[in-house]
Structure 1
């Protein structure tokens, strides 16, 4: 067996707070904007990059708890998209914004970030939305010519809106929150550059203290960038456009939707505020870490009251909360919750906990509140089994992409309900969020419906050079791992952290690959109080880092891309023999069919062939359920991509159980629904 790397949480912890709090990290009140694109004038447009990823994401130990910081502040809870805490004020920016493409890259030089700019001639665009759907007729059709419309508008585009800032916000800590901006975004308030974010699918919040003028009307400007996938989308042999710093760094087989694709809002909180609640419910006990920021000039001496919630069987608990000026601290609460029901797919019971911060005595004035939903459940790995509440799990799962033909990645709640409703209709109990974080609605839905989740980040198809760059210098992959574990921490449905998808292992590159995965594993383990297992979707069953995984995950396409269907069983046996104590998860398997194309199940591309291939693989997995934890089909629905890879028609890959535009079931849909797990019948 390959020698294991030391996996110390200290490898990703950059500062210590032995006194129970740390000074808030130094961060400029106004950041410096990028000078301009790094590419040559006659070449493909590439964005500029600082020495390290631009949000300054890192983790610090604060009173024994590892806390994630971004932009000089604690990475806050993003419940403001749906929850309104009584101590906070919210200003939704989900509306029509002024919008303009910037193909000539003139915006910065011409002052498009300035509040004095006359933008009345600009177009209007909905936020949230993807600019891909702004003007691309036939986006969801398999027969529309490829390469036309705003779906192929790349480079820079600008968004602008105005807000009336309440005068009462003078005594508040104010942040501008984005649930997503693809691929990267730079943000200005009245011409003051607040910062830049990179990564299309992770939320971020920018403090605005250096630019805020309460009681006035101010202008928000956002410059969004998307790298072209190819120099010419209609060329017979299109040339890919790559950037070693970006993740993914090259074209991949899912659509890189662009723009402000999820909700945006401004949140004004007290200067002493509960930034985040980390909760872990297991074995009849609730462990809570309340991460508190003090943005004021005076030390805070007060109390934190933790209400474990109805049905928990516990009364509110009061503890001291002392936070030095301009510092972050952690208040720890541990309470028995003897009557809290366990969460499971069969009984997805959740409880709402609420923390209330008061000044002075418990009866003193209320300063801030924050609530979170949690579930009590025990997740363990051992003896080649993945167990929930001491019962072995078998995962009947689906990969899925977050998109519809009508809205792209800016889906509505009704669309989420319709798409995700197929999971339960199919008898599934598991989804893999390939290969990026989803809208918070998805995790809430999974908690409520008892569907288990493997969460993923954007680390797809990296090679050795990018793995080395990310680990040793740029740190964007680590930032995505940290924020994934931090943001989704409290969701009982999330049972696996996925670290990467099908990244390459060049000749002699195994040490770099292992060091990269060890770094990502250490990041999520540092943050997660519940020690969820880590896995990844390897492109090989002979991965040189499988000893680092808690659950072995790999994608397999026997009988399609290589080998025979019957090769799967012996391959699973060989992996089990090498790692007898680790459960195995098939993270992808599937084939394709053109809807309506019928014929023998031996003829590639028929609906019958697609269904038969699934059934053959499913049977071999179920026969080995004593060490195979489950099977994840690729994919719920046909999906869009730019790569033209693997049976794509107008960029639509037809590997789904459902068609893309009409969402019509194929034969494999019914085959999957009827597929019985171990012990059935």
Structure 2
């Protein structure tokens, strides 16, 4: 699904702003509430019944179609409706989509008239079940209120988290573009159209000059400027249908490869430094915000990070566009977090249940997971910043049924994109000895919390545990290994001269211990600290106003650990210490 872009044949109107808003089974025509788009609705209002609402919420506004759009196809693009969206033009349902972090279009051509107005209503349902990605369960309390439980450790914000667009395309139009590059400048491309027709292709450089033309799915750029970490040079593939449509797809010339225990970008070893992040800010929740986008990337540059993981869902496409332009490397992850019922048992004391079974996460869950993978790759396949797909975070990969669940999904991802390596983030319970799926993937991404949840406050013991654990994975699988999560909750402003958990000094010492271990291990290719910034979570006695593992506070103030990372990462660049 092509992102709406302004061209000579296509126009867009961004419908961000204040919409009428209500919660319930249908839109309340008497509502006086207004909600911001994009934003989560949970933190906008003081009414706890809205913040804790489980079920449908509704957004409505009147939209005028430009009179110049007569004869065009007219669509509404919803970039994210978390987690289930419905679009109505007037009283007519025109589109429905399940999956809260990928976009969908609603074709309203036959229901609206150019130059006239219509009422646009978008419903959003935040319910998670054992057949959604991410999963969850719904219960009903004694008062008859729905309650949502889920396995992931971040708040289940809901709403229209990204922009809504009204956009036009010609009747005969380009529907998809796929670009593959080689270091010698050879461009292999393919296009899809709404009807069989010839498509002309030319390649433009960043100044708009034509540097190549395409024929039979191939174009060649002489002496290409490569997209590299820290230097995000972009070309544009301009596809056109003579007299009907033109669409420009940005791309970068770069290659990605796993060779032995090395991760290579453009044939050169690359060492990941950065974070797991979240789309999470005060008041706006998971709503995309360009100001935070710019500031967060400034902080990545300040601390010396070269990459991040989109934990634990696809981020707004504006984030990837920004990473493309600025040379930041991205591990792109699906919303498959929480496929691990052992965590639920550990936190609640409930009897353990098998994670993968017809009664828990079975065929229907895997089908939803397959849809999430398909939509992620379809949306993000042309972003040069995306160098690896992460198919899931902390699944029960040590349990019976894990291989049967994941093997078809790995095959699907490789079919959809054979050019990028695959990974997943392994949970603490999954060890080199009992993991069932690591051999299916290209890079081993390990989440570990030695010194926090294990050997709390004892960094000497934690160092021994960590090194033995990582060496076990390398010995058994012989693949590149990176740390996709390591961190310690830290209350900004809390200090101690001893190794005292929750203090800023302990967080810095915790990270320094990990880095000593990383530097001793061959085949180690990267370190992503958990987390970039503090973020909101669900209620729990183990959380005080959210997760405090951020190196920055939720409002982006640095803790002492940020200076520790800055000293290390700015000296590393993109290479591991010799």
* TM-score normalised over the length of structure 1: 0.74
**Residue matched to 1:89:** 11
1:412 shift after superposition:
2.0
* Equivalent in 520, 530, 533 of residue 634 of structure 1: 530
Q: Is the 8 Å Cα contact of residues 404 and 411 (structure 1) preserved in structure 2?
A: no
2 CA distance for matches of 1:579 and 1:162?
A: 57
Encode CA deviations 1:114-173: one digit per residue, 9 max, x unaligned. Answer: xxx9x3643222222221222249xxxxxxxxxx47432332211111222346545322
Unaligned runs of 5+ in 1: 1-75, 138-147, 228-241, 295-299, 320-331, 359-365
Q: Is the 8 Å Cα contact of residues 309 and 353 (structure 1) preserved in structure 2?
A: no
**Residue matched to 2:40:** 130
1:458 shift after superposition:
0.9
**Residue matched to 2:568:** 675
Instruction: Note closer, same or farther for the CA distance 1:315–1:248 as it changes in structure 2 (3 Å cut).
Output: closer
Unaligned runs of 5+ in 2: 137-149, 341-353, 456-461
1:424 aligns with 2:301: yes
2 CA distance for matches of 1:247 and 1:520?
A: 14
Encode CA deviations 1:15-41: one digit per residue, 9 max, x unaligned. Answer: xxxxxxxxxxxxxxxxxxxxxxxxxxx
1:526 shift after superposition:
2.1
Instruction: Note closer, same or farther for the CA distance 1:90–1:348 as it changes in structure 2 (3 Å cut).
Output: closer
Instruction: Note closer, same or farther for the CA distance 1:503–1:210 as it changes in structure 2 (3 Å cut).
Output: farther
1:680 shift after superposition:
4.9
**Residue matched to 2:182:** 282
* Equivalent in 561, 564, 577 of residue 453 of structure 2: 561
1:559 counterpart SS class: coil
* Equivalent in 384, 401, 426 of residue 492 of structure 1: 384
* Equivalent in 98, 108, 118 of residue 218 of structure 1: 118
**Residue matched to 1:410:** 287
1:471 shift after superposition:
6.2
1:473 aligns with 2:364: yes
2 CA distance for matches of 1:669 and 1:310?
A: 34
1:316 shift after superposition:
4.5
2 CA distance for matches of 1:478 and 1:183?
A: 16
1 CA distance for matches of 2:255 and 2:397?
A: 35
Instruction: Note closer, same or farther for the CA distance 1:382–1:316 as it changes in structure 2 (3 Å cut).
Output: closer
Instruction: Note closer, same or farther for the CA distance 1:318–1:393 as it changes in structure 2 (3 Å cut).
Output: closer
**Residue matched to 1:534:** 422
Instruction: Note closer, same or farther for the CA distance 1:301–1:594 as it changes in structure 2 (3 Å cut).
Output: closer
Q: Is the 8 Å Cα contact of residues 303 and 318 (structure 1) preserved in structure 2?
A: no
* Equivalent in 483, 500, 508 of residue 611 of structure 1: 508
* Equivalent in 387, 393, 400 of residue 501 of structure 1: 393
* Equivalent in 183, 187, 192 of residue 87 of structure 2: 187
Q: How many residues align?
A: 534
* TM-score normalised over the length of structure 2: 0.87
**Residue matched to 2:518:** 621
* Equivalent in 379, 383, 386 of residue 256 of structure 2: 379
1:289 counterpart SS class: strand
**Residue matched to 1:453:** 330
**Residue matched to 2:130:** 244
1:215 shift after superposition:
5.0
**Residue matched to 1:10:** none
1:653 counterpart SS class: coil
1:394 aligns with 2:271: yes
Q: Is the 8 Å Cα contact of residues 203 and 235 (structure 2) preserved in structure 1?
A: no
1:451 shift after superposition:
1.3
**Residue matched to 1:35:** none
1:483 aligns with 2:375: yes
**Residue matched to 2:407:** 518
2:407 counterpart SS class: helix
2 CA distance for matches of 1:383 and 1:408?
A: 41
1:671 shift after superposition:
1.0
1:317 aligns with 2:213: yes
**Residue matched to 2:240:** 356
Instruction: Note closer, same or farther for the CA distance 1:90–1:449 as it changes in structure 2 (3 Å cut).
Output: closer
1 CA distance for matches of 2:44 and 2:207?
A: 47
2 CA distance for matches of 1:471 and 1:493?
A: 33
Q: Is the 8 Å Cα contact of residues 199 and 239 (structure 2) preserved in structure 1?
A: no
2:469 counterpart SS class: helix
**Residue matched to 1:596:** 493
1:212 shift after superposition:
3.9
2 CA distance for matches of 1:476 and 1:654?
A: 31
Instruction: Note closer, same or farther for the CA distance 1:302–1:396 as it changes in structure 2 (3 Å cut).
Output: closer
1:572 aligns with 2:465: no
1 CA distance for matches of 2:203 and 2:303?
A: 38
1 CA distance for matches of 2:203 and 2:265?
A: 26
**Residue matched to 2:140:** none
Q: Is the 8 Å Cα contact of residues 432 and 454 (structure 1) preserved in structure 2?
A: yes
Moved more, 531-540 or 274-283: 274-283
**Residue matched to 1:256:** 156
**Residue matched to 1:11:** none
Q: Is the 8 Å Cα contact of residues 449 and 486 (structure 2) preserved in structure 1?
A: yes
1:222 counterpart SS class: strand
Q: CA RMSD in A?
A: 2.4
Q: Is the 8 Å Cα contact of residues 403 and 410 (structure 1) preserved in structure 2?
A: yes
2 CA distance for matches of 1:77 and 1:440?
A: 11
1:303 shift after superposition:
4.2
